Structure 1
Amino acid sequence: MHDLDRIARWTRDHLDDQLTDLRRLVERESPSDDKPLLDAAADDLYALLTERLGEPDRTRRHRQDGLGDIIEAEYTGAGAAPALVTVVGHYDTVWPAGTLAELPFAVRDGKVTGPGVFDMKAGLAQGVWALRALRALDLPRPTVRFVLNGDEELGSPLSRPFIERGTEDAVATLVLEPGGEWGIKAGRKGIGIFTVTAAGVEAHAGLDPTKGASAVHGLAEVVGQLTAAADLERGTSVNIGMISGGTARNVIAGRAECLIDIRVTDRAEAERMDTVLAGLYATDPRVTLTVSGEWNRPPMTPGPAGRELFALADAVATAIRGPLAELHVGGGSDANYVAALGRPVLCGMGATGDGAHARHEHVIAADIPDRTAVTAGTLLRLAGA
């Protein structure tokens, strides 16, 4: 039997075991802002790794204050001079503690539900079982370095340098974020998170209208300038997510601010939007504007090495089930950081489903084994087999 057929049959035969591990991960709640729960989730995730794969050959846990720790666990490959592949995933979720009581883990009508099941605890389970499949079938495999973090939903403020260092000597990086239907995410937008603060001059709106300079009015002008700069044909979107300001109906506002989300497909658009942000103005010179924030994630744009990696995974998927869709999406992930360094990376190696960050979050149960098999087969091919 062809190696990829053997892998697919094995992962299908072990679907119940994968669901058992997925349930274990989902029922260990891990909101991004709850350090005790994150620590407990990291403990259990490491325990799961060792139970399914044995003690890592090299491991480090990077302790973090306030946010989730970073786990690095490396398993030496089998074969002639095995290459290194880094597998990245996050165990934190957007769901607050107690959500599990409202949305318990369940498998019903072919869907697996529970907080964080799609984004991205199914991917974590699949990554473990992909390597387990190769070991169980005694197939060639690369050295696999897991880099697992607990702050991705916050933009990976602490784990980014560990991810960058953990991928620098790898021939490829596979990110276990959820996929889309039978596809893998080969491109993601860059994300800018900014705040514009307007400072005006307070005055009585009726008695002294000319003595005041409204921060709210100035900010309204800024909103128009920002939304006019969006260019969806070039892949650039601008969203004003929140506006606040003023103190009372009859007071000319002395302060106002807005929270901005900008998505871009390439660096040139990021630079253009930097120019827009630097040039924001209010027509009343007494209103001053301050822009704060940063480009939280650079664009993930596949280069030649990234396209070659996608072709390899596509060939594996085609042999197992069918050609992969090459997906380019607006959301960001830790894959953005790897791609920005010019390193080959694929994102969306995890589950098929829907509802990330939504109460209808779910995973398609029947797809779990085949997507696990694609990850395992990609590791096999990266080992040179």
Structure 2
Amino acid sequence: MNVYLVGGAVRDKLLNLPVKDRDWVVVGATPDELLQQGYQAVGKDFPVFLHPQTHEEYALARTERKTKAGYTGFECHFGQDVTLEQDLSRRDLTINAMAEAGDGTLVDPYGGRQDLEKRTLRHVSQAFVEDPLRVLRVARFLARYHHLGFTVAAETQSLMHTIAVSGELQHLTPERIWVETEKALLEPSPWRYFEVLRECGALAEIFPELDALFGVPQPEQHHPEIDTGLHVMMTLQSATGLLSHSGSTSETDCTPAFNAEQRVAILFSLLCHDLGKGLTAPDQLPSHPGHEDISEHLSKKVCARWRAPNPVKRLSSLVARYHTHSHRAFELKPSTVMRLLEALDYFRRPETLSLFLTACEADAKGRTGLQDRHYHQADYLRDCAQAASNVQAQALVNLGFKGETLGIELRKRRIDAIRDMKHSYVRP
């Protein structure tokens, strides 16, 4: 049998990028032969085995035949007669359809290396249209490689449109859509994922609430870019920049380091924060009165449809409803600031404030010409929160407060602490 390194490992090696995972294809072997050599079978729909020492995945060369709708509607054939070229032909993009032999020889029957050099994402064959998941995958790959100058080939974009209008996307499970979207949000250019989906018509099928924002005007005074959909894409760009610098030691950077789950929550909350503007009555445009509550409702609807994790659901709702509170922080009464902190559950989950303020800062900076301005509201609200949290329940207990009276007095004194902060705060 012959063993080849395939897929992403070959692609990223040629791009001089770190290789995270290595996958292998085995040509000319049977399952029994691999089992006899100590490999462990793990594949359900087709034969995949784990190497006895490295535990990397080794798959028998196979072909696929479309048998029904959806991305799982394939019948697989594997056997000693399946060639490497046949196995590679079933892959989505030419840059993913390359293999490397044991001696380092590159096997590239579909021009993947040339497309890497041209920075082009191109489908391998017309079989591309048989798998609707490939629309999302291509968009995700562009989110990953956009900063390197990659674009989607026009003919591939055309096939993506064919899939989008065919109804095949409706066969994708919510969980599968979420997995691809979550991965895209963690790529260097997540906004490109949604832009590409919109360009081929797929965004209207899987995320109509977001697609509806493009072309919806906003007041130019606050949004020089005017278009709401464009603004949302700009907030993703802004947030990506903020997150890339989070956790730095700069004295001017108050943004903490976030884990992957928190980064996804921040970015997805921005996708949802203005969804209500897509339902504003035409006679009220370009203003959007009450869009916060509608956005919160729609964010819950989208998160439920995609089975989004609870941290994503929670932050998306909070940012949708309260982002304008943050923008108007200096105008808020101390009691309103307190209600905001309570809505964020700040006194039990103080980390939520940083997530919320990062999203709000990205929203404020995601506007034409305003990308570099300092978001002083975040500094102010952090100081208010710190002042309120300095008032501890135990000190009041020591003074004899207890029960319901303790809660009332604690809240009153925290509002007083916020008021003192407001009066002493020197606004830049």
TM > 0.5 fold call: no
Structure with greater proportional helix content = 2
Q: TM-score, normalised by structure 1?
A: 0.23
Decide which structure has greater strand share.
1
Give the structure with higher Rg (CA): 2
The structure showing larger relative contact order (alpha-carbon pairs under 8 Å, at least 6 residues apart) is 1
